[in-house]
A and B are shown apart, each in its own frame.
Chain A
């Protein structure tokens, strides 16, 4: 049996054990619910700001025609809901009660206390268009000529610089927040999984069958896959729900941001999982994990904070440096990638540094693991664990 099949076996056990645990299922469900609520609330709030909507009543045939044209003209700018009402007195009552924003009766517009200039202007334009097309019909103009007389409204073009960049930056910074939570949660799982095997002494049986390195690799891989699946689920849910609700426009490139985020999560997890593995291997009981993994959690928090400056100034020298450093790169690079602030060579270099650091840490972690997991009488010093390791 090769090392790889041991890794697969161990990873498979991790995935099954976690997937069955109620804690995992509940926390996933709760996180998804929170995420959904956030997206829905954000969509509703931004839906209010974006476009005005009006309820309009019409009395008679021509006002209905004018209202229909106004709906067309308002396309993209305002939502107009037009419906016929019985007669003028009913229309007046509905406007007075505030059930309607305005009513069209013959050649008049009934409005309330605070008439909307935009709506009134729309009605005037619609009225002219209806009148014009009636005249054109009467003089025998072709349908093409009629259409030409009522051109598309002029398009508006904002001359503010690259608006999307800010939005993409926002999405990336939400993403790093998610990354922060996932790294801490799943990293801690690695540490607690190791200490669980240590405390239950099952690790001695495992190590009699196989070596420390595939055992550790399988554990990290299994837990990492769970973290990856959960992270992907969260990202997909957030993006899918936003698209489905339709009131927030995702900037182009959002998909690429999500993919980049997940890729950096994988790399960051591999790196930090090695540290967490050491934290687990030197503890003898779950109670000691707090102190042995505390510095790692702190390091992740620091790296997360380091990404804030990258959000502020993705092109600055600090963002450049922290983007290359292995412990901050997973947080900083997704932001820089989202804002197009990073050259391909920088990405390649950052990835290479991260992979090299991880490769080194895997060796150290495997040694600490091998030396630490059989030492069950209390906490062992990192140096002693290294010294006890077989090879």
Chain B
């Protein structure tokens, strides 16, 4: 559906993008994660034709997007914006018209979307009179009005309360199920992990990991086990590193996490633990997206990982 190939972009001396490639498929939800300033918004703007890349290509269904293609997309920019003095209904209808809908269709679609998002009774108020949450809903309605084939959302979850997050997640899921290609950026990695089947991780203008989350887990994360002994004793694990069984050992909660040098040596860890005391817990760790993110982004250890639950 949407393919970005080897995009580069400079703003003066600043290299914003340095060879970004990614693909978004119809019916899929694609998470786009990275630190602030890593190039997410620039990538999205180039994909939408708002900015021109210095080099690289943007393809829709295998061809550079024409003007008519651009009308079949829904976009929610990071910096939300609607006409302050226009009613939500009028502007959602207006964006429907700009997307090529006939007047009656645009009005009907606007009413439907606003109702669906719970704005029906405030739809005729000027947007500036709406609460921030409702403004966000109006914004989403404007992005969704024509039933877009590609939905691009820049930080759609930021500023939403938990109920709003669930509503938005449901709407996006429904759009993907309808067959739309959905791509959104977010700092809320657990949310991305829950909603998306594919992810692209970008850092310093470069894609550092990308693809189905399940595959990334299998490929990228170092195998690890968590072991907990009765009484919370942890000293037993210290020799594992020296013995070449573990890459690293770190305490976590009442137990200890052992990153294995070789996945096959998990039983050696268990043997050592059993020799040291009574094992109350032994489990293989499935790396979370947060773990993956830390691993690929923390190539530079001075960089803190993004906060998980605090919206940017």
Contacts and interface: CB of A to CB of B under 8 A. Distances in A.
Nearest to B75: A208
A209 B74 CA distance: 9
Contacts of B75: 204-205, 208-209
A390 B50 CA distance: 8
Contact of A209 (B51, B71, B82): B71
A183 B198 CA distance: 54
B98 A209 contact: yes
B83 A206 contact: no
A206 B142 CA distance: 11
A210 B81 contact: no
Contacts of B94: 9, 13
A9 B83 contact: no
Interface string A1-17: 10000100100010001
Contacts of A128: none
Interface string B69-101: 011010101011111111000000011011110
A236 interface: no
B219 interface: no
Interface in A13-72: 13, 17, 21
Contacts of A205: 75, 77, 81-82, 95, 142-143
B309 interface: no
A208 B81 contact: no
B79 A374 contact: no
A201 B79 contact: yes
The size bracket of the interface on B is 20 to 34
Interface string A298-342: 000000000000000000000000000000000000000000000
Nearest to A10: B98
A17 B98 contact: no
Contact of A204 (B50, B68, B84): B50
A244 interface: no
Given A201-B79, A376-B79, A209 B52 contact: no
Contacts of A374: 45, 50-51
Nearest to B45: A374
Contacts of B67: 210-211
A13 B98 CA distance: 11
Contact of B49 (A197, A203, A208, A376): A208
A200 B83 contact: yes
Interface string A363-391: 00000000000101000000000000011
Nearest to A17: B86
Nearest to B80: A201
Contacts of A196: 83
Interface of B: 45, 48-52, 67-68, 70-71, 73, 75, 77, 79-86, 94-95, 97-100, 142-143
List 6 A-B pairs, minimum CB-CB distance, nearest first. A201-B81, A202-B81, A390-B52, A208-B75, A1-B100, A204-B77
Given A13-B94, A201-B80, 17 more contacts: A1-B100, A9-B94, A17-B85, A17-B86, A200-B84, A204-B75, A204-B79, A204-B81, A205-B75, A205-B142, A208-B49, A208-B73, A208-B75, A210-B98, A374-B51, A390-B49, A391-B52
21 contacts: A1-B71, A13-B94, A17-B86, A196-B83, A197-B81, A197-B83, A201-B77, A202-B82, A204-B77, A205-B143, A207-B49, A207-B50, A208-B49, A208-B70, A209-B71, A209-B98, A210-B70, A210-B98, A211-B67, A374-B51, A390-B49
Interface of A: 1, 6, 9, 13, 17, 21, 196-197, 200-211, 374, 376, 390-391
